[in-house]
Amino acid sequence: MIFLLTITFVAIGLFEVPALVRNKHWRELTVFSAFFVFAFILAILQAVDVNIPNPIKGIEYLIRDILKMSY
């Protein structure tokens, strides 16, 4: 499963990155790379059954406890 996931991400990278480099879109390439690596790490963690926490809990904590707002 991890091998197939890696091959898929490599194929997407080989498809998207050359156009960004050719057109010298360096900022877009930086943002794309950051999101791409983050997505790859999350996909690998999910493939090996690591329990990934729900981000809604953190958002609720931020809004309710830190910003003192209610929804």
66: which DSSP letter?
I
For residue 41, CA distances in Å to 12, 21, 23 come to: 15, 23, 27
1-60 pLDDT, tens digit per residue, is 899 999 999 999 999 999 999 999 999 999 999 999 999 999 999 999 999 989 898 888
Residue whose pair of structure tokens reads 């991400």 in the numeric block: 9
Query: Using 50, 70 and 90 to split pLDDT, how confident is the model at 70?
Result: low
